[in-house]
Amino acid sequence: MGNVREHDAMPRVSAKRQITLPIDQCREVGIEPGDEYRSFVADGRITIVRKTAGAAKGILCHVDGTSGVSDEESLEDALDESTP
């Protein structure tokens, strides 16, 4: 999992579900006030990643797409799958 460093202070989640990121961790990864971020949930953990131009470039390069499916058909299929 790479270099994992835990922060000593235990920030709490506010009533509005807001968190304060420790300043030393923000400095380490280059997060500044006003930066945009993405968050992901996997294996019961939340990961926060600062958005940077081109950060996702090539992320899906290993996925074979089907050129015969339009964006609209793909969206409709995704919406159908998410409806219980």
Determine the straight-line distance between the first and last CA of the chain, rounded to whole angstroms: 35
Per-residue pLDDT of the chain (84 residues; tens, 9 = 90+): 566 666 666 778 999 999 888 888 889 888 899 999 888 898 888 888 888 777 666 666 777 777 777 878 877 887 776 666
Residue 49 token pair: 């990643």
With contact defined as beta carbons under 8 Å apart, do 19 and 11 qualify? Answer: yes
> pTM above 0.75?
no
Residue ranges with strand state E in the chain: 37-42, 45-50
